[in-house]
Amino acid sequence: MPHRHSLTELAAMLRARDISALELTEHFLARIEAANGLNAFITVDAEGARAQARAADERLADDDPPPLCGVPIVHKDIFCTRGMRTSCGSRMLDNFTAPYDATVVERLAAAGTVTLGKTNMDEFAMGSSNETSWYGAVRNPWSTDRVPGGSSGGSAAAVSARLAPAATGTDTGGSIRQPAAFCGLTGLKPSYGRVSRYGIVAFASSLDQAGPLAQSAEDAAALLDAMSGFDPRDSTSLDKALDPTVSSLGDSLRGLKIGLPREFFDAGVDDEVATAVQAAIARLCELGASTVEVSLPNMAAGIPCYYVIAPAEASSNLARFDGVRYGYRCENPVDLADLYERSRAEGFGDEVKRRIMIGTYALSSGYYDAYYLKAQKIRRLIAADFEKAFAACDVVAGPTTPTTAFGLGEKTDDPVSMYLNDIYTNTVNLAGLPGVSLPVGFDRVGLPVGMQLIGPYLGEARLLNVAHQYQSSTDFHRQIPGAFA
């Protein structure tokens, strides 16, 4: 069956004409329709996908089709996509149709991909469980009473259930890597500036970064190479020639030094998660790597630091949604103040309101120095910790999350407990570094465990090679939830 093949394998099958792009698209559209109980999608564009697939079949007849020609993918509903609703999982943008493509959408289309639709997400990417969406919670394909992680939970659920070979996501504090861990996928958060943010609805501009969710490191590398590159429309885009990552996937691990931060294996991590991660590290050592202990002493400050900086930037970015220019507008406002107040009160959900309030407070007169400025200083210390660690090792390894996927509704009444789920991931965003999560086992009830690898700035090629070498000798990444096999 086509859905049991990876993106890379499907691309090869399409080039060999073993299957047509239209046949492949129809296969995945049928699976999406049959799996609507997961609530992974906000929009399915069946007719648009068929039209793109027919065009891809024509291009596949050429001598040199694009590398991903005819491969279906899905986009997180935070990427502007021309002619399609871009809602960000919010009532505020429920009626917004994007007039242009985000750079990521544009570049993947140029690589030949077929867009099946847009996936569900935590509202404005604010959440760790995909339960804050205006369109309802997404369910984890491995156990539908569990969360898929967030905020890219719809993308992760879709790929995990093999409703699509791969998906885009965004990662502000772990929103690609954490859902990848919960759903048994490979999820990559690239270095800040490697992938353009143009056309991504902003949450926290100094932290947001787009990346792929896929079955394997090989698939993630192919998507990253298609997505990456300088974009003059994004002032934070890195203007530098980038080496492709796919060509580095055959490198030996001989001599590789893996840093193990003592803070990643403290009392806060579940025993089954720690055991699976330690077994994966032992496997990497069998492949030629060695380990060295390192320390990230300011990691514990990552959560409070992140939850000052990210809400502050969100408060600024979300000020544009005022009921005037586009998006949700309240009915029958009595004056301009009423229009602003009720449009925002009715258009935003509780978690978004909470973060706007926190951010506005942190930026207000009399509190800026005490909170926002101090958080920026801590951010610099966190980056310095990583710089020191990478002086002693090539990559840092540890759990992606403290536990496997938790139950739906389990943490919705306790925001701080929800925030702590990102304790191993958000420091990577604060430092602007690349990180990848890959599946390394299952807990006693059959839920996936993820291991995170972190590299120095622009170290994606090495990270993906380490993940690929591990996956070449294991099959955790090939496992499919039983109900979707």
Rounded to an integer, what is the distance from CA 2 to the centroid of its chain? 24
Q: What is the rounded distance in angstroms from the CA atom of residue 316 to the CA atom of residue 161?
A: 36
CB 49 within 8 A of CB 116: yes
Per-residue HEC secondary structure of 308-324 comes to HHHHHHHHHHHHHCCCC
Task: Count, in order, helices (H) and strands (E) of the chain.
Answer: 15, 11
Kindly give, in sequence order, each residue whose CB lies less than 8 Å from that of residue 10, ignoring residues fewer than 6 positions away. 2, 19, 24, 71, 165
Contact (CB, 8 A) for 91 and 347:
yes
Cβ–Cβ < 8 Å for 471, 284: no
Other C-beta atoms closer than 10 Å to the C-beta of 322 total: 18
Phi, psi of 213 (to 5 degrees): -120, 125
Residues with active-site annotation: 76, 151, 175
Q: In what order do the strands lie in the sheet with 114-119?
A: 41-44, 114-119, 72-76, 166-170, 210-214, 186-189, 435-442, 448-454, 395-399, 257-261, 290-294
**What stretch of H or E contains 464?**
helix 460-472
The alpha carbon torsion through 135, 53, 209, 5 (nearest 10 deg) reads 90
And the tokens for 210?
């787009």
**Across the chain, which distance is largest between two alpha carbons, in Å?**
70
Q: Which residue type is seen at 320?
A: R
Nearest to 130 by CA among 348, 405, 397: 405
CB atoms within 10 A of CB 280: 22
**Residues contacting residue 373 through CB under 8 Å, at least 6 positions apart:** none
The two structure tokens encoding residue 396? 């840092």
The CA distance from 49 to 98, in Å, is 17
Residue 190 DSSP class: P
Q: Which amino acid is at 274?
A: A
Q: What is the DSSP string of 143-180?
A: BTTB---SSSHHHHHHHHTTSSSEEEEE-SSSTTHHHH
Supply the DSSP symbol for 79: B
Radius of gyration of the chain (CA): 21
